Amino acid sequence: METESPFCPECLAASQSGSPGKLSTIQGIGRMFHGRTQTCERCGSSVRTAWSVFLLLPLVPRGSFRVVEFDELAAQGVSSTPFFARRVSLCWPQVLRTWAVGGLALLFLAWIVVQRFS
């Protein structure tokens, strides 16, 4: 039985089949989404970028995806999938913004360490 797509026709047309695969982290190392942009008013999907992360800091973008999240449904046991995703072109403004925020966080942490031990 095929389920109906959670994406509106416009978001379907602007994306292609493809999934980021399983996203998970163990002690801050793994793959996860960072960022959210271009939220669709019709279907509620947004463009998110999957990242390889270390200590939750984004290192390498693994692709951008139009995503509809179902966290509430997954938490209630209604769905075993926390999101549906379709591939879009890499969202460079989001990637650059995420790197900038991650870099600032890293500098702040380094500053705290230097202040603590000096």
Q: Give tens-digit pLDDT for 29-70.
A: 999 999 999 999 999 999 999 999 998 899 999 999 999 987
Continuous segment of H or E residues that includes residue 33: strand 29-37
Residues 70 and 103: their CA atoms lie apart, in Å, by 30
Section 68-76 average pLDDT = 65
Domain boundaries of the chain, sorted by first residue: 9-116
Average pLDDT for the chain: 89
Residues 53 and 111: their CA atoms lie apart, in Å, by 21
Burial (Cβ within 10 Å: 0-12, 13-18, ≥19) of residue 78? exposed
Q: Give tens-digit pLDDT for 2-37.
A: 568 899 999 999 999 999 988 889 999 999 999 999
Closest alpha carbon to 94 in 15, 21, 33: 33
Q: Assign 69 to helix, strand or coil.
A: strand
